Amino acid sequence: MSSKLERDIEEVLAQVEKFPQPSRVRRLRRRLSNAVGAAGAAIASLPRPRVSVGQVLLLGLALIVIAYVFGDSFGSQSIVRLFIISGIVLFIGAFIFSLRRQSSSRLPERRWRGQPMDLRPGGEPWWKRWLSRR
């Protein structure tokens, strides 16, 4: 039994010696891809500045004003139109996004001492609530 085991080990070792080694180009490509992947991960982990809706509104308004005020000095009317259209798109997009974020469905439920509060208008008048406490 040990001779069979020895023979199997020798066959495996012989096959390992015949196993093709990766070429230099392949090893270089693998190292380069690992380096690029690490650099990409490092760049992705950097903190990015947060842009608020108000800043985008202001940028759109500034583009429109700059296009009107300095439109003659740009030379081409197509550049002025491009600034105005991009300013309008930024302004309208930021305005719609600001309305979307203020929906009441995204607001957390208000609670007082663990119980949900009823803040709907049209509830009981204040004098009925005051009289019911007695």
User: pLDDT tens digits for 24-68?
Assistant: 788 888 888 888 888 888 888 888 888 888 899 999 999 999 888
Helices (H), 1-134: 2-18, 24-44, 53-69, 71-74, 77-101, 126-132
Cα 32–Cα 33–Cα 34 angle in degrees, nearest 5: 90
To the nearest whole percent, how much of the chain has pLDDT over 70? Answer: 84
- CA distance to 15, 18, 19, 21, per residue, from 11 (Å): 6, 11, 12, 18
Question: Can you tell me the mean pLDDT for 70-91?
Answer: 86
Burial 52-78 (b: 16+ CB within 10 A, else e): ebeebbebbeebbeebeeebeeeeeee
> Is 4 inside any structural domain?
no
> What is the span of the domain harbouring residue 73?
53-102
Residues 51 and 48: their CA atoms lie apart, in Å, by 9
pLDDT at residue number 88: 94
Total structural domains within the chain: 1
> Is 63 inside any structural domain?
yes
**Is a pLDDT exceeding 70 seen at residue 104?**
no
> Is 128 inside any structural domain?
no
Tell me which of 71 and 1 has the higher pLDDT: 71
> Is 44 inside any structural domain?
no
Burial class (CB in 10 A: 0-12, 13-18, 19+), 88: middle
Summarised one tens digit per residue, pLDDT across range 113-134 is 888 777 666 666 777 777 777 6
**Is a pLDDT exceeding 70 seen at residue 101?**
no
Question: Can you tell me the mean pLDDT for 85-107?
Answer: 80
> Is 30 inside any structural domain?
no
> Is 41 inside any structural domain?
no
> Is 28 inside any structural domain?
no
For the chain, give the mean pLDDT.
81
> Is 14 inside any structural domain?
no
- pLDDT band of residue 11 (cuts 50, 70, 90) is confident
